[in-house]
């Protein structure tokens, strides 16, 4: 037994080994198996990638087709193609939105869903209704809503909210209330989003009593205000200037430890600035700064106006530095900083800011030039004013309406502006129309001046068709400065209107351009126009020409 046991053991071991070898010869090695798995995975990945690539190519090809045929008829195109995939249809919708052809949505949607009945579903209708409402086509969205009822589709809360908000934004509150009631009748309870949209719409139409009623109705139906609603109410009361209601709601939010949104704080800041409540304005401003929120430039301007009106010019520097820390050294930053020095007529401190600008290689603009020139005018420092106005071309600054006003007002005070006008004429300034490129804060700080005040008065008196005015402006240089008789005849032949309508958005008028209006009106028999003509000639032409 002692001898046979090892042999038996050996026999079984050999058999097992032979059996294992035989099996191993009939199956691939482990390394080979892994290689097969990898190859299989790569094959699947390649096919998937190829499918995605083909899909992208088809989509790109379809979008290219739309781009080439910008003015295509989508209905005719769909009829020609026979059908579109889901992605292609929504690509067409997106393209129509981008090309301002939203009114064609529903027609192409009707045809597309008729090709395949399974497309008549809640998801597609909800999407098209939301798009129609966003584009302001609420009536079209309402038609889709009625179709859903005919098909027996369920109208979701989101669909009702879209339609209710769409009508409310258009001021059609009767329709909005109709669908709000219908929504409740079919068992869809309005949520806070439903009421938030109504509150926002009431606010935009200044219907503040209705806001109170809406909140009461909301609470009576067990729909409690959330943090979005509370913030919305504060913003709407702030925009309305209802400070007592705004502060009451703000205190309620604070006591409930509800988070205030950045837009809510900004709305409160603007409300305090509007009414000039300085201490509360500054407190809210500091809170916004500490919250690391950024303020838009128009809000900064409102704060600056309050400081200017209260003659707190040093605060302008602080505003500029705060803004610089958030946005970098923008044009408004330099405007605020140099304005804070110019308002106190400090030449030395103005020079410091100018040197700082030059060290940072910041170019001048009309705002900077006009701030300095207005300060010189106020100080009656005609020597430095003459140098400044003459070197505008070398600083690549084009004079604007305010610059012309400075020169005009200085001439009235005894300034010899002949050399400046000669320089401007050489640089071709009088051949161009002039815009108002100066920051409005400059006018707030220094006032309009005699020229600009008279210009505004004249501009609001006279009215005319814009094309006639522009034609006159183009001819004025030759007529007034070069005394060109042909140009004068052309001006006289321009058609007259009962009144000349000067569009003030870009303030494209110079003294020469004002004079063109006189030429246009020269042969008028209208007493009002003759009165305006005589008044304007006395106001503008004599003082301007006297300094030639």
**Lowest-confidence pick of 18-22, 60-64, 205-209, 469-473:** 469-473
CA separation for the pair 79, 426 (Å, rounded):
64
Residue in the structure block whose two tokens are 């080994």: 17
CA separation for the pair 81, 521 (Å, rounded):
62
Asked, for residue 516, whether it belongs to a domain, the answer is yes
Structure tokens at 465: 């068709």
pLDDT of residue 63: 65
* Short-list 435, 404, 427, CA closest to 512: 404
> Taking all residues of the chain, what is their mean pLDDT, rounded to a whole number?
79
Q: How many CB atoms lie within 10 A of CB 530?
A: 13
Query: How is residue 498 annotated by DSSP?
Result: S
pLDDT of residue 543: 44
pLDDT of residue 49: 52
Report pLDDT digits (tens) over 333-347.
Answer: 999 999 999 999 999
Report pLDDT digits (tens) over 416-459.
Answer: 888 888 888 888 776 676 678 999 999 999 998 887 776 665 55
Number of compact structural domains in the chain:
1
What are the strands, taking DSSP E only, across 186-301?
none
Report pLDDT digits (tens) over 146-164.
Answer: 999 999 999 999 999 999 9
- If you average pLDDT over residues 404-414, what whole number do you get? 87
Handedness of CA 369, 503, 469, 526 (dihedral sign): negative
Asked, for residue 362, whether it belongs to a domain, the answer is no
Share of the chain above pLDDT 90, in %: 55
- If you average pLDDT over residues 27-41, what whole number do you get? 50
Residue in the structure block whose two tokens are 């198996």: 33
> Has residue 483 got a pLDDT over 90?
no
Tally the residues of the chain. Answer: 548
CA separation for the pair 227, 544 (Å, rounded):
61
Query: How is residue 1 annotated by DSSP?
Result: -
**Lowest-confidence pick of 201-210, 303-312, 368-377, 474-483:** 474-483
Asked, for residue 104, whether it belongs to a domain, the answer is no
Q: Which residue has the higher pLDDT, 520 or 137?
A: 137
pLDDT confidence bin for 39, thresholds 50/70/90:
low
CA separation for the pair 291, 293 (Å, rounded):
5
3-state secondary structure 145-213: HHHHHHCCCCCCHHHHHHHHHHHHHCCCHHHHHHHHHHHHHCCCCCCHHHHHHHHHHHHHCCCHHHHHH
Contacts 24+ apart (CB under 8 A), 160-165: 160/188, 160/190, 160/194, 161/191, 161/193, 161/194, 161/197, 162/126, 162/129, 162/130, 162/133, 163/129, 163/133, 163/138, 164/194, 164/197, 164/198, 165/133, 165/197, 165/198, 165/201
Q: Which residues of 409-427 are buried (b: 16+ CB within 10 A; e: fewer)?
A: bbbeeebebeebbebbeee
Question: Is the CB of residue 366 less than 8 Å from the CB of residue 400?
Answer: yes
Asked, for residue 182, whether it belongs to a domain, the answer is no
Report pLDDT digits (tens) over 17-31.
Answer: 344 444 444 545 544
- If you average pLDDT over residues 177-198, what whole number do you get? 95
pLDDT of residue 35: 54
Report pLDDT digits (tens) over 244-289.
Answer: 999 999 999 999 888 899 999 999 999 999 999 999 999 999 999 9
Question: Is the CB of residue 428 less than 8 Å from the CB of residue 360?
Answer: no
Angle made by CA atoms 134, 138, 141, in degrees to the nearest 5: 95
Question: Is the CB of residue 192 less than 8 Å from the CB of residue 229?
Answer: yes
Asked, for residue 59, whether it belongs to a domain, the answer is no
- For 475, phi then psi, to 5°, come to -90, -10
Asked, for residue 246, whether it belongs to a domain, the answer is no
* Short-list 413, 407, 451, CA closest to 539: 451
Asked, for residue 508, whether it belongs to a domain, the answer is yes
**Lowest-confidence pick of 55-69, 335-349, 473-487, 520-534:** 473-487
> Has residue 509 got a pLDDT over 80?
no
pLDDT of residue 449: 87
Q: Which domain holds residue 505?
A: 448-546
Assign 463 to helix, strand or coil.
strand
pLDDT of residue 170: 96
Asked, for residue 318, whether it belongs to a domain, the answer is no
Q: How many CB atoms lie within 10 A of CB 440?
A: 13
Question: Is the CB of residue 285 less than 8 Å from the CB of residue 306?
Answer: no
């Amino acid at each position: 037994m002692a001898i046979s046991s090892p042999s038996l053991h050996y026999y079984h071991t050999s058999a097992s080994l032979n059996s294992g070898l035989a099996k191993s010869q009939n199956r691939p090695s482990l390394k080979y198996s892994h290689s097969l798995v990898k190859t299989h995975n790569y094959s699947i990945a390649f096919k998937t990638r190829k499918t995605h690539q083909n899909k992208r190519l088809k989509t790109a090809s379809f979008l290219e087709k739309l781009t080439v045929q910008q003015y295509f008829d989508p209905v005719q195109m769909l009829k020609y193609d026979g059908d579109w995939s889901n992605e292609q249809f929504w690509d067409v919708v997106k393209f129509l939105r981008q090309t301002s052809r939203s009114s064609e949505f529903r027609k192409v949607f009707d045809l597309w869903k008729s090709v395949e009945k399974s497309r008549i579903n809640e998801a597609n209708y909800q999407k098209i209704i939301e798009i129609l409402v966003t584009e302001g086509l609420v009536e079209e969205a309402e038609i889709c809503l009625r179709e859903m009822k005919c098909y027996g589709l369920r109208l979701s809360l989101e669909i009702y909210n879209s339609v209710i908000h769409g009508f409310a934004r258009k001021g059609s509150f009767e329709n909005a209330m109709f669908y709000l009631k219908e929504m409740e009748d079919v068992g869809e309870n309005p949520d806070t989003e439903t009421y938030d949209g109504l509150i926002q719409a009431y606010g935009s139409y200044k219907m503040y009593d209705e806001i109170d009623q809406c909140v009461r109705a909301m609470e009576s139906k067990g729909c409690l205000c959330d943090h979005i609603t509370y913030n919305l109410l504060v913003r709407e009361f702030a925009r309305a200037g209802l400070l007592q209601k705004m502060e009451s709601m703000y205190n309620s939010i604070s006591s409930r430890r509800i988070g205030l949104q950045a837009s809510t704080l900004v709305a409160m800041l603007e409300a305090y600035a509007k009414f000039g409540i300085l201490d509360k304005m500054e407190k809210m401003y500091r809170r916004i700064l500490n919250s690391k929120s950024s303020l838009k430039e128009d809000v900064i301007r409102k704060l600056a106006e309050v400081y200017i009106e209260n003659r707190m010019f040093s605060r302008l520097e602080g505003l500029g530095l705060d803004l610089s820390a958030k946005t970098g050294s923008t044009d408004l930053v330099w405007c605020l900083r140099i304005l804070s020095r110019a308002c106190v007529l400090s030449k030395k401190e103005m020079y410091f800011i100018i040197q700082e600008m030059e060290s940072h290689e910041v170019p001048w603009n009309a705002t900077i030039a006009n701030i300095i020139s207005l300060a010189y005018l106020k100080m009656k420092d005609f020597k430095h004013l003459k140098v400044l106005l003459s070197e505008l071309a070398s600083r690549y600054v084009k004079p604007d309406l305010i610059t012309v006003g400075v020169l005009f007002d200085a001439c009235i005070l005894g300034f010899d502006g002949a050399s400046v006008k000669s320089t401007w004429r050489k640089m071709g300034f009088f051949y161009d129309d002039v815009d108002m490129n100066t920051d409005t804060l400059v006018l707030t700080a220094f006032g309009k001046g005699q020229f600009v005040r008279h210009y505004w008065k004249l501009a609001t008196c006279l009215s005319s068709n814009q094309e006639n005015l522009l034609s006159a402006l183009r001819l004025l240089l030759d007529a007034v400065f070069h005394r060109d008789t042909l140009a004068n005849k052309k001006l006289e032949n321009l058609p007259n209107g009962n009144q000349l309508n000067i569009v003030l958005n870009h303030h494209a008028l110079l003294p020469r351009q004002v004079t063109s209006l006189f030429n246009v009106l020269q042969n008028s028999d209208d007493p009002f126009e003759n009165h305006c003509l005589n008044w304007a000639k006395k106001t503008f032409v004599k003082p301007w020409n006297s300094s030639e």
